[in-house]
Structure 1
Amino acid sequence: MENYIFGQMPRKYQRKTEKGKWTAEQLRNAITEISNGCSIRSAGKEHGIPESTIRKKLKLSEEERYQPMCLGGVVTFTMRQEQELADHVIKLAKMFHGLNPIQLRKLAYQYAEANNVCHKFNKERKLAGKDWYYNFMERHPNITLRKPEATSVNRIKAFNQESVKLFFSNLELVYDKYKFTPDNIFNVDETGITVVQKPVKCLAPKGLKQLGYKTSAEREKNVTVICCCNAIGRYIAPMFIFPRKRMTDLLSKNGPSGALFSCSLSGWSNENLCMDWLQHFSQSVKPTVMSPVLVILDNHSSHISLSIYEFCKSTGIVLLTLPPHTSHRMQPLDLTFFGPLKSAYNQECDLFLRSHERITTYDLAEIFNKAFIKVGTMEKAISGFRSAGIYPFQPDKFTLEDFAPASQFQPVNDENTLTDITNKNLSSKPNDACVVSNTESQQPSTSNTSESAFQQTSKMQNLVTESLASIISEQASKSKSDRNSPSETTNRLKGKHVTAETLSPIPCTSSTSKYQRKNKQKSIILTATPNKDELEEAEKKKQARQKEVDRRNSDSEVESIDSVSMLCDDDECDDYPDVDENQCLVCGELPTKSESWYRCTVCSNWAHALCTGYDSPENYICDHCD
């Protein structure tokens, strides 16, 4: 009795007999032989299945026949029902709305109640038991409990079929025009390092309430590192950008061989530093107009200027930008290099602190160099280009299933517009979608549910039958809380099969923000001739701002910040940028008279209103914080 707790079977029960150990495949083979004329007893002996078991199975339906024997109790859900739950769990995880164990147990209880399934779940807490959860996870090894990575809404929305298709179209154009070989295809990207490393897991005594680890400071500014590699695994010496006014040779001590060291007030890249890196890149690769190279980079505004355009055209560098906010799926360095690089850098910081009191900015180059040498392998670079579909060229690398999460944020129809509901997928808000969704024969949806998830606007997977159209119309005028109630759904659909997606619908969120970017950025070929006119116009505006700054400085009349139109998301904000020290986050220029400035709500730094692309300072987040 010591293995039993409150009359329940132990979670790790060890079987003592071989009873019921046959598989569904053995049963299927036995039934096939019986249909060919073999006796039930002979087929049972040959495949190790009792005769009585075969006779019972032959009386069952095709759906229930091949379920494994349940020794010691009755299963709650059928194989089809449990597979539906498993498919829905996987689908929600891919849509960035994964369930935690408590939510899954709650969904299982609601699913059993809605479909009148006999169960022994806790009716007071309205949860399935822990034993059911652990057994469910054991029966579905393709599902595991993982810690998700925080992904911003902008990244989810930006990775859509239209943007990715445009990028691969541009990539195909430059491939066809210049016939690039893999050694001439490069990717460049920025990452940040700091003297405050992220501690790795370490051994400690059980029961310890708090476990600390030595770091150099509480908080520190980032140092930007620009890395570059090509499709055959060649790495260009990185460029370091330190957050300071003046450069010193001590910062480059024991750094990577051939690396470039520079500085800026913010520690981020700007147009001038981007030009410095391009010259550094040109000296290392030595491209020519007759033998050009392709550089794939993000579309940050610091990479776009007339001087950069003219330099690249004269030296044979073709610049192709990625779609905005898609680097987590399409940037080769992000896919396979920066993650291991950060881990190796943190480990090197831990080793350094064992023999030193603290890490300073003068030690960063040396520590980074050790991590860079360990991680900068050919395999990682080649794998990154392959994973992004850039080389070898794979325009169909990403499927419709990969673009499904972006459909959550498409514009949705009005609540009261519910016409032709039987012939269309649900394209209204999630509350309207909380209705049963049936297949042709009112059977539960299976794992093949991704085919219809990418139609026009935020659609559910299954079609709504004619018998439920009137119910949807009636519920459209009710309050939101009534429609979301699982009990209300159960009462309305009594006698109908309620799918897991009905009880836990995939959110279909419309964009509610009033302040959107004026011109949505997209993938472009920066060095293409049509872009020259836009760059020249931008250069004229920049020179006009610079003339205003020069005039004010020459007259020695630096006006107070109140005379400069600075806009903040808080009307009472009195923390304005210093005219002499602060620069625009995007273009790097100083404030001038009668210019509107927006302040980032995260890092509190400033940028020209025209440079941000936002219509209002409210909810403005700069590209560095996004």
Structure 2
Amino acid sequence: MVVVHRVASYTTPKLVFNEEQEEALVEYIIRCCHLYYGLSITELKKLAYEFARKLNIVYPANWDTDHMAGKSWYYGFMLRHKNLSLRSPEQTSLNRIKSFCQENVDQFFDNYSAILETHKFEPHQIWNMDETGFPTVPTKFGKIIAVKGVKRVGQAASAERGTLVSMALAVNAVGGFVPPFFVFPRKNMQSYFMDSASPNADATCNESGWMQQNEFVKYIRHFLKYVNSSRQKPILLLLDNHTSHLSIEAIDLALENGIIMLTFPPHCSHKMQPLDVSVYGPLKGYYSTECKNWQTANAGKALDIRHIPGLVCAALDQALTPANIKSGFIKTGICPLKRNAFTESDFVQASLSGQISDVAPIENALNEEERRRIFPMGAACQTFSKSTKPSTSATTPTTMSRSSSMASVLSEIGPVQPAMPQKRSNRGRKPMKSTVLTSIENIAKLKEKRQKCEDAKKKKEGSTQKRKRSYQIEPAKKRTQPTRAAASKKESSSSSDEDVDFCMICMENLPAKLTKNNSIECNKCQRPFHLKCVNMSLS
């Protein structure tokens, strides 16, 4: 008798979507990620369930129970597409997303190229300066070893909410840097704040703890100690256009010492500023580690603002390497100059914002279902399709129509749906652009603006003082009851032909001077009478 052993077969499991449909899903996921609205695992599984129902294809029965795809499908999908991975996103504000556009970037590089053609700066003469904050309670800690199965694992912190100390730092394109400059949130500067800092670091203080115009003037003086610039040997300083940098005193000081200041476009520093791109990210991680090590070595002691400079300087020794600094200048296209450092895919969200605003005139003529379909994903789809690998097979019109129809289906059922366009408001500060702060035109504008502010302030103070004088209330005079002698004296000073009063009993005139010997007052009406008329005599 022959015994036949069953051999397990390694056949490919049956897929829910075919290759073309899964490719459309991948393109939609990448598109949403580039639009800063990436999908989570749950959102992807729900999208797969709705996509399968829309295409009327067979899917497992348990999908209807949970109204989403199962875990096995998700893991298989991620294994089949190695170009996708689960990442932790960074929060990016809408102002940053919309402001980073081709127009703003081109304007910055136009100003930057014009300066380079005029002054021929070397890499060691190109500097970048920026501020960042360090709290006494870091927001992120690394993982620790704990008992398995415990739901909550705690970590000691100095307070519920930390106090923030800001730091200004400047680096150049060859990897050099200027010692840090700290701003403490205190009214008066204390010497022990900098006991743990590096010897060349400097500091100041104000109530907010952030850089303001007065503190920026102090920082420029600190910066000049280490750069050795002059009118004969100028340098270029790149920085953002925060209002603290628009100080006329600081700009005049920079001009006297040969510093040319160029600002980045507003809300674009996360992409275009070398310090934000390659230095501050590792620095914050090293700072959190230093804080954790300090807390471990000083158990039961609270971390104070006087400890921050020492911890920051220790983190700077690890993060502020020449390789990190130079990679930031290279990636942003500043040194060496590379105008096409940013591709079309980097400006997708800004371009889509413009297209959405163009839909506003026709939105009232459409119903709600048609409005949901107004999402210019087609342009983004073409943009991202350029970056994908070219297909070896020939693309037929039928294939293109099917892929476009699937893309439209995903745009309709997908979780990313645009809000209705809003009217632009004229309130607030006018949008700024990349500007050469040390140019004659910009200085004239700043002086004119400051003069207007001073005039408006004086006018407001004058109107306030005038209003106070007009509404000033005189203090009320104390009302007193006049005595009988004062009343009789007042009455005697009147005309002599008129008597003061007459007696109501005998109807004869009362004497001009009333005394207790010749008159008496009624207790009710307070009128005087003759003493003899009321048949009373003095006791």
TM-score, structure 2 as length reference: 0.74
Task: Identify which range, 181-190 or 276-285, moves more after superposition.
Answer: 276-285
- Which amino acid counterpart does residue 448 of structure 1 have in structure 2? S
Task: Identify which range, 167-176 or 126-135, moves more after superposition.
Answer: 126-135
Give the aligned length: 440
- Aligned equivalent of 1:79, options 19, 23, 30: 19
- Aligned equivalent of 1:519, options 430, 446, 453: 430
- Aligned equivalent of 1:116, options 56, 60, 67: 56
What is the CA–CA distance in structure 2 between the aligned matches of 1:540 and 1:231, rounded to whole Å? 38
| Corresponding position of 2:385 | 448
**Is the CA contact (8 Å cut-off) linking 1:436 and 1:502 kept in structure 2?**
no
- Aligned equivalent of 2:176, options 234, 238, 243: 234
Secondary structure of the 1:157 match is helix
Secondary structure of the 2:373 match is helix
Secondary structure of the 1:239 match is strand
What is the CA–CA distance in structure 1 between the aligned matches of 2:213 and 2:220, rounded to whole Å? 11
- Note the alpha carbon deviations across 1:270-307, whole angstroms, 9 max, x for none: 11111111111112101111211111101001111322
Decide whether aligned partners of structure 1 residues 110 and 174 sit closer, same or farther in structure 2, where only a CA change above 3 A counts.
same
Q: Does 1:166 align with 2:107?
A: yes
What is the CA–CA distance in structure 1 between the aligned matches of 2:406 and 2:73, rounded to whole Å? 25
- Note the alpha carbon deviations across 1:410-467, whole angstroms, 9 max, x for none: 2232474799xxxxxxxx98613379979xxxxx98961679xxxxxxxxxxx9xxx9
**Is the CA contact (8 Å cut-off) linking 1:408 and 1:507 kept in structure 2?**
no
Secondary structure of the 1:392 match is coil
| Corresponding position of 2:509 | none
**Is the CA contact (8 Å cut-off) linking 1:186 and 1:231 kept in structure 2?**
yes
Decide whether aligned partners of structure 1 residues 434 and 521 sit closer, same or farther in structure 2, where only a CA change above 3 A counts.
closer
| Corresponding position of 2:211 | 269
Q: Does 1:89 align with 2:89?
A: no
| Corresponding position of 1:140 | 81
1:222: how far off?
1.0
- Aligned equivalent of 1:102, options 37, 42, 49: 42
| Corresponding position of 1:423 | none
Q: Does 1:529 align with 2:469?
A: no
What percentage of aligned pairs have identical amino acids?
A: 32
1:134: how far off?
0.7
Whose relative contact order is higher, 1 or 2, with alpha carbons under 8 Å and at least 6 apart?
2
TM-score, structure 1 as length reference: 0.64
**Is the CA contact (8 Å cut-off) linking 1:433 and 1:505 kept in structure 2?**
no
- Note the alpha carbon deviations across 1:68-109, whole angstroms, 9 max, x for none: xxx254322221211111111111111111111122122222
Decide whether aligned partners of structure 1 residues 497 and 290 sit closer, same or farther in structure 2, where only a CA change above 3 A counts.
closer
1:226: how far off?
0.3
- Note the alpha carbon deviations across 1:179-236, whole angstroms, 9 max, x for none: 1111000000001012212332211112212211111111122111001100010010
1:503: how far off?
2.7
1:309: how far off?
2.4
1:371: how far off?
1.2
Q: Please list every run of 5 or more consecutive structure 1 residues that lacks an aligned counterpart in the other structure.
A: 1-14, 20-70, 420-427, 439-443, 452-462, 468-492, 564-626
- Aligned equivalent of 1:188, options 129, 134, 152: 129
What is the CA–CA distance in structure 2 between the aligned matches of 1:251 and 1:546, rounded to whole Å? 36
Higher Rg of the two aligned structures: 2
| Corresponding position of 2:413 | 503
Cα RMSD of the aligned pairs, angstroms, is 3.5
Decide whether aligned partners of structure 1 residues 138 and 377 sit closer, same or farther in structure 2, where only a CA change above 3 A counts.
same
- Aligned equivalent of 2:199, options 240, 254, 257: 257
**Is the CA contact (8 Å cut-off) linking 1:409 and 1:508 kept in structure 2?**
no
- Note the alpha carbon deviations across 1:20-47, whole angstroms, 9 max, x for none: xxxxxxxxxxxxxxxxxxxxxxxxxxxx
What is the CA–CA distance in structure 2 between the aligned matches of 1:273 and 1:219, rounded to whole Å? 25
Q: Does 1:337 align with 2:283?
A: no
Secondary structure of the 1:76 match is coil
Q: Please list every run of 5 or more consecutive structure 2 residues that lacks an aligned counterpart in the other structure.
A: 1-6, 389-396, 473-539
What is the CA–CA distance in structure 1 between the aligned matches of 2:156 and 2:69, rounded to whole Å? 43
Structure-to-structure mapping, 1:314-325, within 5 angstroms: 314-325=256-267
What is the CA–CA distance in structure 1 between the aligned matches of 2:122 and 2:376, rounded to whole Å? 54
Decide whether aligned partners of structure 1 residues 391 and 446 sit closer, same or farther in structure 2, where only a CA change above 3 A counts.
closer
Decide whether aligned partners of structure 1 residues 187 and 498 sit closer, same or farther in structure 2, where only a CA change above 3 A counts.
closer
Q: Does 1:152 align with 2:96?
A: no
**Which has the larger share of helix?**
2
Decide whether aligned partners of structure 1 residues 401 and 343 sit closer, same or farther in structure 2, where only a CA change above 3 A counts.
same
| Corresponding position of 2:358 | 412
- Which amino acid counterpart does residue 449 of structure 2 have in structure 1? A
Structure-to-structure mapping, 1:124-523, within 5 angstroms: 124-198=65-139, 199-356=141-298, 357-410=301-354, 411-414=357-360, 416=362, 431-433=372-374, 448=385, 499-504=409-414, 507-509=417-419, 510-512=421-423, 514=425, 516-523=427-434
Secondary structure of the 1:186 match is strand
1:499: how far off?
4.0
What is the CA–CA distance in structure 1 between the aligned matches of 2:147 and 2:134, rounded to whole Å? 31
Structure-to-structure mapping, 1:581-592, within 5 angstroms: none
